[in-house]
Chains A and B, each alone.
Chain A
Amino acid sequence: MKTTTARRHSPSFTQSVVLVAEREITARLRSKTFLVTTGILLVLVLGGVIAGGIISNTSSTVPVAVVSSMSSELSNVNGLDLTVVDDRAEAEALVSEGTVDAAVVPSAEGSANRVTIIAESEAPSSLVRALSVAPEVELLNPSQTDETLRYLAAIGFGLIFFFSGMTFGPMISQSVVEEKQTRIVEILMSAVPVSALMAGKVIGNSLLAFAQIIAIAVLAIVGLSVTGQAELLSLLGAPLLWFVGFFIIGFVLLAALFAAVGAMVSRQEDLGSAMAPVTMLIMLPYFAIVFLNDNPVALTVMSYIPFSAPVGMPMRLFLGTAAWWEPLVALALLVVTAGLAILLGARIYNNSLLKIGSRVSWAQAIKG
């Protein structure tokens, strides 16, 4: 009458977590939705990099006719495709027939300028700039990055965090609800501790999100260097690494919350409204960063708030307005918040998982 259970070992907590995480990853990798969204994201990033490359290289050559007496002066100006002509009349003819965009001829006697540009309706600005004498500029407080670049970086960091959060977050919730809705959760609960179940889900999906973000970072870095935008890369490099660090912790924070709200409902149909508060925590910081990135005070505040720090702090590093210790403080703050979110999430998860039926209220979920 002795029960023989000795043959089997009990998997450790870690082994259980690994098993659950493994299943999450395989299930995700088989989902067409997941593969397609990842593909779209990577294509978008690649497109952005290539577009940036094209824009920075479009200072293409301008065909210009030049009177032979001046050709030596223009030959060392970049971006011009020179056609040497004998006199002004021939130059004008070439301009009007469209062979060249403009012609450079000596100015008439008595003019203040030495050269005249002849063009059809508008003179090419690059040519005008090349021949103008610019006044000397001395900046007392030089801005390190220009407006457009800052805006693009804000949108770029924001978009990646936003996109990942909005893709993987609901995915975690859905996978929790799926287990509740199909009732397999009771079998799972009889086999592994609830905390292992939640940890496995959060870790599995987070790893996928990290893989995606790392793929994006690698694509961006390789793309920028291949398309000859190494200058931008050197500006973006360190903030990009910080971004990856912040992203990882920030994502775990969101994942724990998404797992918790998933456990509160029993049907996919109820998930949208349950997720709304957590979704807000992704959307609000995103829009704040996009719209307030030129407001230093707002940006400083956002770079410390745990939900916007993953975008805000790398932004400030990119702009060069953060002291060396600031990202460390923000990161520490984020780590603490993530820890608290995991505790709260686990509590909600534990209290709600077996409650099938109508949505579990927050009070019920937290108090148990």
Chain B
Amino acid sequence: MLQLDNISKAFGGRIALDGVSFDVRDGRMTGFVGGNGAGKTTTMRILLGVLEGDAGEIFLDGDPLGAQQRRHFGYMPEERGLYPKMKVREQLVYLARLHGLSSADAGRSADSLVEELGLGERRDSTLESLSLGNQQRAQIAAALVHDPQILVLDEPFSGLDPLAVDTVVEVLKQRAASGASVLFSSHQLEIVERLCDDLVIIAEGSIRVSGEREALRTAHSSPRYTITAGSDLGWLRAEPDITVVEFDGGHATFDTTESAAAQRVLSRAVLDGDVTTFAPQRASLSQIFREVI
């Protein structure tokens, strides 16, 4: 487990990070969400040792994180880039070896990753000759090629077409399933929502919320339900313990603190005709996001 403890950083007089603390757990995908300039990239750079924090500590499995362990991290910086004139496979092998893999292991790893990411046919093309989407895939491969147990990805999905997003999501999920810790930032809240197990929200250099996604959603949900039925739901307004938030013929959204009241509503609606949906409404990521920043 990776633990950030009270990390602070100022650039000149401007405070970029103010006591940032959160955990990245093994085998889980942790989504790191925040607006532009909130401090995501700075946090990640400090995590990787590319930047030095002014204060605070980072622990890996309880021990202070050192340069040796950092070298095994996988990193995809926000500012993308590989060698334009080097062949895809060649740069992957080079990077893997810089991270400490033997020449043979680096070759094997590069080969399987290139296949996995759908770059097999382009392995011997120079990076500059690839399409932008394929360059992005190569970039992901560069972060994964040394089979890191800790993956730090800054906006890994930006610039990817939907198909590529799916490929990358699959690859990342697989890494997490095999025990790797994945920390990724993204603007695309719906991808984060779909992908992350844990969630960290940062704004103005400080962590606003962090924890398991589902727990956060529950915590931020009001006791709200939606119902869609074949019949008119006008009678809802007269029900006790129910506050109708939205109403449109056969569709309604209502709040209630009594789950018994919600069940009563469902029974009555079923008696009147078909009910196509009945669900407690959970806070979406974007709702939580708007709420906390």
Contact = CB atoms under 8 A, between A and B. Distances in A.
A3 B67 contact: no
A271 to B, nearest CB: 17
B84 interface: yes
Given A3-B181, A183-B80, A190 B61 contact: no
Interface string A178-203: 11011111111111110000000000
Interface stretch (A7-15, A92-100, A321-329): A7-15
A191 B143 CA distance: 11
Contacts of B160: none
Interface in A227-263: none
B150 interface: yes
Given A11-B97, A19-B98, A5 B72 contact: yes
Given A3-B26, A3-B149, A191 B82 contact: no
Contact of A193 (B45, B67, B149): B67
A18 B99 CA distance: 13
A182 B101 contact: no
Contact of A182 (B61, B68, B75, B83): B83
Contact of B26 (A1, A181, A354): A1
Contacts, number: 95
Contacts of B68: 10
B85 A190 contact: no
A3 to B, nearest CB: 5
A16 B70 CA distance: 15
A1 B67 CA distance: 21
Given A183-B81, A187-B75, A193-B67, A8 B99 contact: yes
B179 interface: yes
A356 interface: yes
Contacts of A178: 83-84
Given A3-B60, A192-B71, A11 B98 contact: yes
7 contacts: A3-B1, A8-B101, A186-B45, A188-B98, A189-B50, A190-B48, A191-B99
Q: Which 6 A-B pairs have the closest CB atoms?
A: A183-B81, A182-B81, A183-B79, A186-B77, A191-B98, A190-B48
